[in-house]
Amino acid sequence: MLATTMIRGFAFQPRYHLMMMMPRRSLMITLGSRQQEREPTKLESLPPEERGRYKVATIPNAICAARIAATPLIGYLVVQHHFTPAFALFTIAGATDLLDGWIARNVPGQKSLLGSVLDPVADKLLISTMFVTMTHAGLIPLPLTTIVILRDVCLIAGGFYKRYQVMNPPYSLNRFFNPQVSSMQVVPTMMSKINTVLQLSLVALSLASPVFEFVPAANDAIFALGCATAVTTVYSGLQYASGKAIKKL
């Protein structure tokens, strides 16, 4: 009877009595967590129009992720000389590149800092994969592929270094890939956009050549397009190296 009375009395004690019976360290953790819940985070304290820049789950970002996921499959098809399905998938991938850019520019709340980095990464990954695999298949000359790959490797390394420069200590991988920490935005130059169009056009025409069995005159046009691609690749790479495409926010 006495034990039952003690249990009931303990069950109906006021809440603050229970808190006083908690160990001091547990009580501090509990109060600290409640205080943190009441304080707005850095992202929540931003205006709605500024907060949208840090979104991750957007339609353009999802499209970019799908394009990245499809890239190994397209490259595999090229290596296996399955040019018809490879050409079809590459055409779809190119269309999605235009689609995610249009959505980011015209649909409210779909433009993000992550997208400004993810979109060119998806493009470069696709183009680099196509150049390497098509060189293996004998569709694109090795010197041109070397120029394209070397430029993209330098851009990626330079981007990581620039990201490190705009960060404030402490340094960690979590903070390095957090867009809320010392944000920067990649703004493609006009020459870079022209170069991307030329690279995509060269890949598409070179890949379509064995599918549609182009005449020799078309091969001459492909050669001229390759020369223009080489020139714009080098020039746009120099523009990125000068820092013109990097904008700190």
Cα–Cα distances (Å) from 189 to 25, 128, 244, in that order, read 55, 19, 8
Are the beta carbons of 132 and 75 closer than 8 angstroms?
yes
The backbone torsions φ and ψ at residue 247, rounded to the nearest 5 degrees and listed phi first, read -125, 120
Burial grade of 83 (CB within 10 A; 0-12, 13-18, 19 or more): buried
Q: What's the CA gap between 17 and 14, in Å, rounded? A: 5
Cα 206-209-215 angle, rounded to 5 deg:
125
pLDDT, tens digit (0-9, with 9 covering 90-100), for 213-230: 876 667 888 999 999 999
Q: What is the mean pLDDT of the chain?
A: 75
> Among 1.10.3470, 3.40.190, 1.20.120, 1.10.1740, what is the CATH number of 53-248?
1.20.120
CA distances 165 to 73, 125, 169, Å, are: 36, 24, 10
- 83: Cβ contacts below 8 Å, ≥ 6 apart: 77, 137, 207, 210, 211
How much is the pLDDT for 173? Answer: 63
State the pLDDT confidence band at 2, using cuts at 50, 70 and 90. very low
Regarding beta strands 184-186 and 246-248, do their DSSP bridges make them parallel or antiparallel, or are they unpaired?
A: antiparallel
pLDDT band for position 8 (cuts 50, 70, 90): low
Q: What is the distance between the terminal CA atoms of the chain, rounded to a whole angstrom?
A: 70
For residue 31, what pLDDT is reported? 44
Mean pLDDT, to the nearest integer, of 51-80? 84
The H-or-E segment that residue 247 falls in is strand 246-248
Q: Which residue has the tokens 């867009």?
A: 179
